[in-house]
Amino acid sequence: ILNVEQSPQSLHVQEGDSTNFTCSFPSSNFYALHWYRWETAKSPEALFVMTLNGDEKKKGRISATLNTKEGYSYLYIKGSQPEDSATYLCAFIKSNFGNEKLTFGTGTRLTIIP
């Protein structure tokens, strides 16, 4: 059973502040790591697909880094806005074929306080 852990479980951040949270995953047989954002009453939406150690991806105010050797990824949000309130899920793929099953963490629930 693969262990994908996310911390913290929940987070309250003042609007305008920056924040980050962590996804830990097995460091062996790494293929890819995905980040998804899941807003209430919507379906999860892909943010990033990361495959290379040292990868850094950015989408607006959100960025992510990847360390496959030590088995962790950080998601950063700069200058939080109310629309950033969501659950952020990471998902790990252990395979070299791609398109295999993703193992999800339990998510970090982020609430932005106006």
| Residues that bind other proteins in the complex, under the rule CB under 8 A | 1, 4, 6, 34, 36, 42-46, 49, 89, 91, 98-107
- Of 3 and 18, the one with the shorter C-beta distance to other proteins is 3
Minimal distance, residue 104 CB to other proteins, in Å: 4
Q: Are 19 and 110 in contact (CB under 8 A)?
A: yes
Minimal distance, residue 46 CB to other proteins, in Å: 4
Minimal distance, residue 93 CB to other proteins, in Å: 10
Which residue type, as a one-letter code, is found at position 74?
Y
- Of 47 and 77, the one with the shorter C-beta distance to other proteins is 47
CB under 8 Å to 42, separation ≥6 — which residues?
A: none
Alpha helices per DSSP H over 11-104:
none
> What does the alpha-carbon distance between residue 43 and residue 8 come to, in Å, rounded to a whole number?
22
- Of 56 and 100, the one with the shorter C-beta distance to other proteins is 100
DSSP state of 107: -
